Amino acid sequence: MISPETPKNEIERLKSLRQLNIMNSLPEQAYDTITELASYICKTPIAVVNMVDEEENWFKSKYGTDLTGSPRDVSFCGHTILNPDRILEVPDTTVDERFKGNPFVTGENAIKYYAGVPLLDTQGLPLGTLCVYDSKVHQLDEKQRTALKSLGKQVEMLLESRRQNYLLEQMKIELNENNRILREFASTVSHDLKMPLANMILTADILKVKYSNILDKEGMDYISYLKQSGLTLSDYINGLLDHYSNNKAETGNVEEFFLNDLLEDIIDLLQIAENCEINLPDNNLKIFGNSAAIGQIFMNLISNSLKYNSREKIIIEIDCTENREFFNFKISDNGIGIPLEKQEKIFDLFTTVAEKDRQGKKGHGIGLSTVKKIVESLGGTIQISSIENEGTVFEFSIKRNEIID
């Protein structure tokens, strides 16, 4: 007997095998079907999908045997992976120098025939074999050899699919953990900054009142600038807190309300100027849902339509429809519009379109990202269509909380 040598690319081969996370995994029907078919086609009582680890062979799938693997130093498959570009077929193991004297050849239920196809990854590294065994001398014909190779390719596809799924799952776990850390960081920092900012804004107001008769216009402007900077940063922080606290909008209070009543309350809060015309839907929908979450969506979208509009006359149109599953809403304006190349990423966090809004302030790119999160948490979708210098249309849906009979 001759024990199999170690391949020159053993380190890379084992690394690829580890990435599969397949050793000692549970049986899977997809592999078991292939070993059963290999046994039938090759007319052998035993067929195995075998993974060759550092010191052992482990059977991912087996047909016709109760064994779960073997030590690598007495394995047949250890020899097979040394020549990954071809089948290893041994018609009579008792006369082959590599296998005569092998405990699997000389022992009870001795193996006299072996054929194995190397299983390669996408880099050509051999990870294991699809092999068949017989207790008597045997030999495959050309069609059987071709079929065994084809079945080996099917196993390779299963292994690669497993690899990709495992890598995606690991990436998902890592991404979720990174998002959790980011949410905690943003929330902690934002809360820690709110009080100092409030003190800074209040102090600016006190300075303005107490020293207005002492400071010149330039000094008063500096104080006003200090307060405005504090307010801007406060808005930014509040936006971050809103963004990271709206993961569970669907669990908020669900109540029955009329859409136009909600919209009128929002318009009152926004203190709409005389040069702005907001047309509410003709059909005043009765909605059973989370009014606070829906209100926040409309508040943000209407506010954007007001801020990013350079027309003398601002016009905002709001429309709504309903079907068995969704409430559908549309908000259109005659504002500055959004360039086509920016529309795809407009809902990404910290993405802004215009340098400054109508009042000369720069946006933070948080609002629309938060809107998208709320819409999706309510079971809906949101999309945008816009023409630069002509206007923008936002359309979004909210899944109904009740089913129409």
In sign, the C-alpha dihedral spanning 373, 374, 379, 380 is: negative
Q: In whole angstroms, give the CA distance from residue 35 to residue 81.
A: 19
Residue 173 corresponds to which tokens in the numbers above?
């776990």
CA 268 to chain centre: 40
Contact (CB, 8 A) for 393 and 332: yes
* Bridge-based pairing state of the strands 276-279 and 314-322: parallel
Higher pLDDT, 317 or 341: 317
- Tens-digit pLDDT profile for residues 72-99: 999 999 999 999 999 999 999 999 999 9
Among the ranges 80-89, 291-300, 363-372, 373-382, which has the highest mean pLDDT value?
80-89
Across 192-262, where does the E strand assignment appear?
A: 255-258
Higher pLDDT, 37 or 293: 37
Residue 161 corresponds to which tokens in the numbers above?
């699919």
% pLDDT > 70, the chain: 85
- pTM > 0.85: yes or no: no
pLDDT value at residue 250 = 45
Q: In whole angstroms, give the CA distance from residue 188 to residue 252.
A: 23
**Where are the chain's structural domains?**
10-163, 249-399
Higher pLDDT, 36 or 183: 36
Q: Which residues touch 127 (CB under 8 Å, ≥6 apart)?
A: 13, 16, 17, 20, 51, 52, 119, 120, 121, 159
Q: Which residue has the tokens 């859409």?
A: 259
What single DSSP character describes residue 214? T
pLDDT value at residue 121 = 95
Q: Which residues touch 397 (CB under 8 Å, ≥6 apart)?
A: 326, 327, 328, 329, 375, 380, 381, 382
- Tens-digit pLDDT profile for residues 148-192: 999 999 999 999 999 999 888 888 888 778 767 666 766 666 666
Higher pLDDT, 250 or 89: 89
Contact (CB, 8 A) for 84 and 126: yes
CATH code assigned to 249-399? 3.30.565.10
CATH number, domain 10-163, options 1.10.1740.10, 3.60.130.10, 3.30.450.40, 3.65.10.10: 3.30.450.40
Across 195-267, where does the E strand assignment appear?
A: 255-258
| Residue of 125, 140, 56 whose CA lies nearest to 90 | 140
Q: In whole angstroms, give the CA distance from residue 289 to residue 272.
A: 26
% pLDDT > 90, the chain: 53
Q: In whole angstroms, give the CA distance from residue 199 to residue 128.
A: 68
